[in-house]
Amino acid sequence: MSTGLIIALIVVVAVVVVAVAALAALRARRPHGGRSLRRRFGPEYDRAVARHDGDTAAAERELAERVERHGDLHPEPLEAARRERFEARWTAAQELFVDAPRAAVSEADHLLAEAAEAKGFPDSHHYDEQLSALSVHHAAHVEGYRHVHRLAQTSEGQGRDGRSTEEMREAMVEARELFEDLVGAGARTTHRKGSRV
């Protein structure tokens, strides 16, 4: 065999190996089937199935579409000063809960939206899109944001809405998990020490 033929064969084999590796990497990034989506989304998977009246195929299409739209989003870390401001506002919201639970829930809703936007998620004026993106990256804790948002929206301008203080407290506790994920590990220490909610 000539040297040119050997080089050509080596180049062809190298190209094939690179192409196969690229295809394998692309397939690994895209969720295929229910197990992968169920593992990625956890409780959010079950919620999607329930929303589609048990139609797992429709739920999986929805979730796969979310991953397609938001899977490449790489949330930005917060600067220390900004993270500390968010943490101080969360602590203030928790303290406000004692005297004004509805106002505290509303502040938590706004704070989660702002923190998500600061991290690079869709802006706070597009709640559904922001929630969709958060569900791809924080599926285990997105329900807390949904709960706080629902309570904040129901209580704004409606006086007594029948929501119990206990329900609002539970929503704040759930939402805190997403807040801690968004602002970083520093929040875990701050909020676990003297948390009132």
What value does the mean pLDDT of the chain take? Answer: 84
Render pLDDT for 93-147 as a digit per residue (tens, 0 to 9). 999 999 999 999 999 999 999 999 999 999 878 899 999 999 999 998 999 999 9
Cα dihedral across residues 181, 182, 185, 187: positive or negative? negative
Residue-level pLDDT at 2: 84
Q: How far apart are CA 143 and CA 158, in angstroms?
A: 23
This prediction has a pTM of 0.71
Report how many helices (DSSP H) and strands (DSSP E) the chain contains, helices first: 10, 0
Mean pLDDT of 70-99: 92
- pLDDT given for residue 156 in this prediction: 53
**Weakest mean pLDDT among 28-32, 48-52, 106-110, 192-196:** 192-196
Q: Where are the domains positioned within the chain?
A: 1-30, 32-72, 80-194
